[in-house]
Amino acid sequence: MANGQGRVIGYTRVSTEEQAASGVSLDAQEAALRAYCAMRGLDLVEMIVDAGVSAGKPLASREGGRRVIDHVRTGSIVAVVAYKLDRVFRDCADCLAVVRDWDERDVALHLVDLGGQTIDTGTAMGRFFLTVMAGAAELERNLIGERTKAALAHIKRDRSVKLGAPALGWTRTDERDADGRLVAREVDGEVATVNRIVELRAQGLSLRTIAATLTKEGRMTKRGGAWRPVTVDRVLRRQSCDRPWRASSKGGPASST
């Protein structure tokens, strides 16, 4: 039985990429949590932060996450308040196992924004909705993974370069194929960037967010300039095979001159 007498702690997390590319910053999360606690009359005694920590790590393996769990186990609080489900847990199984343990210790989880609704697992209805939404979040994650794999498989099938200037991921050589066309070869670093763009787009990110992410990660454009939404769009359009592709007789791609 928790004896925290109405005391709660807040928990916020971002990965490095999210801090740069999305609106779910640490400051924004903290502001939302403080507003929620004030509205509910909750005694927020501490704000625990995991900065630059991947969502793929279980709560117990994060520095801030371990502090949260320590608070729960010592009975010093009655609830943990977080912004969204994915700020706290890596997947559905992790979420349900941890919340079940907290429930047995009379510690609730409050989520400020779960599908546009607030959730309090201190109630039976709150626990029910958490279970449903955790399963839905897991489904969406798996669908994103399937779309990403399909997009990357499409790129691997088309091992060639469009006519005209070499696209990002390719460079011309001085070699010519049997038809006299210059042969183009892959540029490993650029191919990795193309794959990254396709992956981010499959996750539903906007062109502007993808451009900001690529800049943060230090990835270069074909000409070494700044990433812009239009630049990202151009790369994605090339992957959609909107123009003819040809392969050289040497097994590599070729572009005409």
Amino acid residing at 225: G
**Which residue is catalytic, options 15, 61, 160, 256?**
15
Query: Domain check: are 129 and 244 in the same one?
Result: no
Q: Is-contact 33 70, C-beta < 8 A?
A: no
Number of separate helices (H) and strands (E) present in the chain:
9, 10
* 25 catalytic per annotation: no
Neighbour count for residue 159 (Cβ, 10 Å): 12
Query: Which of the pair, 44 or 153, is modelled with greater confidence?
Result: 44
Place of tokens 């572009």: 255
Sequence-distant (≥ 6) Cβ neighbours of residue 252 within 8 angstroms: 159, 183, 184, 185, 186
Among the residue ranges 11-15, 72-76, 146-150, 213-217, the one predicted with the least confidence is: 146-150
Query: Domain check: are 138 and 170 in the same one?
Result: no
- Per-residue model confidence (pLDDT) at position 174: 66
Query: Domain check: are 139 and 178 in the same one?
Result: no
Angle made by CA atoms 63, 65, 69, in degrees to the nearest 5: 120
Distance, CA of 109 to CA of 39 (rounded, Å): 16
Query: Domain check: are 163 and 136 in the same one?
Result: no
Place of tokens 């787009």: 201
72: pLDDT confidence band, cut at 50, 70 and 90?
A: very high
Query: Domain check: are 162 and 139 in the same one?
Result: no
- Per-residue model confidence (pLDDT) at position 54: 84
Query: Domain check: are 139 and 166 in the same one?
Result: no
57: pLDDT confidence band, cut at 50, 70 and 90?
A: confident
Provide the CATH number for the domain around residue 56. 3.40.50.1390
255 strand-pairing partners: 182
Helices (H), 105-228: 124-157, 188-202, 207-216
- Per-residue model confidence (pLDDT) at position 159: 46
Is 35 contained in some domain? yes
User: How high is the mean pLDDT of the chain?
Assistant: 78
pTM: 0.52
